[in-house]
Amino acid sequence: MTTLSSNSSEPSVLTGQRLSEADYQTNFADIHTPLDARSAIVEADRCYNCYGAPCQTACPTGIDVASFIRMISQNNAVGAAGKILSENIMGGTCARACPVETLCEDACVRHAEGDQPIKIGLLQRFATDRASELGAQFFTREAATGCTVAVVGAGPAGLSCAHRLATLGHEVVIYEALEKSGGLNEYGLAAYKMTEDYAQQEVKDILSIGGIKVKHGIRVGQDVSFAELQTNYDAVFMGVGLGANKDINLDGEEAPGVINAVDYIHQLRQSNDVGQLPVGQNVVVIGGGMTAIDIAIQTKRLGAPNVTMAYRRGKQHMNASLEEQEFALSEGVHIAHWAQPISLIVEQGAITGVEFKMANNESGQTYITPADMLFKAIGQNLAAINMGTIEFVKSHGKYEVDQDLRTSQPGIWAGGDCVAGNDGLAVSAVQDGKLAALSIHHTLTQS
């Protein structure tokens, strides 16, 4: 068994201030430099305006990418924003956090030719930011239908569904357990992707349509029963998202220093002083997805000298894109592939290391990586809701839905991370909410 020792001689940094305030401001500033008007037009002019543009096909929400880019090239950023938001009401967040490198930009014809793809994400951000700054309004409500819909969860799926329903003339009440709306966008994305309280500005813009009431601090199944929602509303949409991280199922998992990554990111995003967050000297992250990348980079930027991401399979199998993996490496994060955790080293009641087995090595070679802080980021379970006597058909612990996002229970739709087969992307949750709203509208009005 080989022990990998730390190269750092720094003292433990589990608590207290470590970097200057200026350092923290720099480390958690926006990682993307927004385009100005001139650079946006120059970039937009690179677009071929392809017929049957593959970038549109690659977008989960079906944004007419070529059209909005053409509008930007014609100095019509507000019109471009209207095109974007008509399909993706959270186009601003998706421009910041969507993995465009594996979606629209990967499908760009210029990319296929070996050239640099059009910077679609930055162009989308330029347009939506400009429209928000100017207070542009793109939506009006249709005549009132007299129907009311309950939405469970104010995350991307729930807000998207509520907004589309409101434009179609329905009254919507959103039940949100947390004190702020936004879901993943507010609580789960890396702080350097969602700066200047952008998630809340976007929520404000979405709710400006009217006809949507949000009840915060209300847990469905606890503060209000699911049966009450069925009785009091004409339809119900569930956009409940996911709950706590999955366990790694090793002895010592309850020891101090073993932390759910999503809980820590939640705390970081809501902190007014990130310098007071605990961070280890030797941080180990178990997982290979975007949450693992986000927690690894953020702990590094908080001052952790040594951060290791451990993934049980190879580089090509990681859910995080190759670009995100390269970004983590550039930040000084070490990525250990084929690393299967087999035991936690706990001394005097606290985590001190993780023993790994080389998963691609039949010899069973093992090694220990020092760790005074271990983050679990191997996926999340469905958020628990007490449904009473109501039962749903599920697959792998998530709700099964049809092509119109209907669940197995009449009058109940679902979308986003809580449904089987969802890819975990905010952009896909937005699309689910939009499609469910159209299905609900058709069912309630037969139009």
Question: Does 221 fall in a domain?
Answer: yes
251 and 370, same domain (yes or no): yes
86 pLDDT band, cuts 50/70/90, is very high
243 confidence band (pLDDT: 50, 70, 90): confident
Question: Do 233 and 165 belong together in one domain?
Answer: yes
Q: What average pLDDT score do residues 171-176 get?
A: 98
CB 103 within 8 A of CB 87: no
DSSP codes of every residue in 108-164? -HHHHTTSPPP-HHHHHHHHHHHHHHHT-------S--S-EEEEE--SHHHHHHHHH
74-91 CB burial, b ≥16 within 10 A, e <16? eeebebbbbbbbbbbbbb
Q: 138-164 pLDDT, tens per residue?
A: 999 999 999 999 999 999 999 999 999
pLDDT digits (tens, 9 = 90+) for 389-433: 899 999 988 999 999 999 999 999 999 999 999 999 999 999 999
Mark whether 416 and 294 lie in a shared domain: no
Rounded to whole angstroms, the Cα distance separating 432 from 438 reads 10
Using the 3D structure, point to which of 134, 166, 201 is the last residue of a domain: 134
Do 13 and 41 share a domain, yes or no?
Answer: no
Boundary-marking domain end, from 108, 134, 160: 134
Does residue 139 sit within a domain? no
Count of domains for the chain: 3
236 with 301, same domain: the answer is no
25: in domain: yes
Say yes or no: 366 and 251 in one domain.
yes
191 and 281 in a common domain: no
The answer to whether residues 417 and 432 belong to one domain is: yes
Final residue of a domain: which of 380, 404, 419? 380
In this predicted structure, what is the pLDDT of residue 16?
Answer: 42
Asked whether residue 60 is assigned to any structural domain, the reply reads yes
What mean pLDDT is reported for the chain?
A: 93
Residue 89 belongs to domain with CATH number? 1.10.1060.10
Distance CA 376, CA 287 (A): 7
The range of the structural domain enclosing residue 340 comes to 2-30+245-380
Mean per-residue pLDDT, 122-128: 98
Q: Are strands 394-395 and 398-399 parallel, antiparallel or unpaired?
A: antiparallel
pTM of the model: 0.93
**CATH label of the domain that carries residue 356:** 3.50.50.60
Residues 214 and 255 in one domain: no
* Strand-pair partners of 245: 380
Residue 125 lies in a domain: yes
Distances in Å between the alpha carbon of 211 and those of 154, 170, 238, 440?
15, 7, 18, 16
Q: Examine residue 141 and state whether it is found in any structural domain, yes or no.
A: no
Is the same domain home to 362 and 375? yes
Is residue 108 domain-shared with residue 121, that is, in the same domain? yes
Angle at which helices 198-207 and 120-134 pack, to 10 degrees?
A: 60
The span from the CA of 354 to the CA of 311, in Å, is: 13
What is the pLDDT confidence band of residue 385, given thresholds at 50, 70 and 90? confident
Do 284 and 365 belong to one domain?
yes
Q: What is the pLDDT of residues 7-44, one digit of tens each?
A: 333 334 454 457 999 999 999 999 999 999 999 999 99
Q: Within a domain: residue 43?
A: yes
Residue 206 covered by a domain: yes
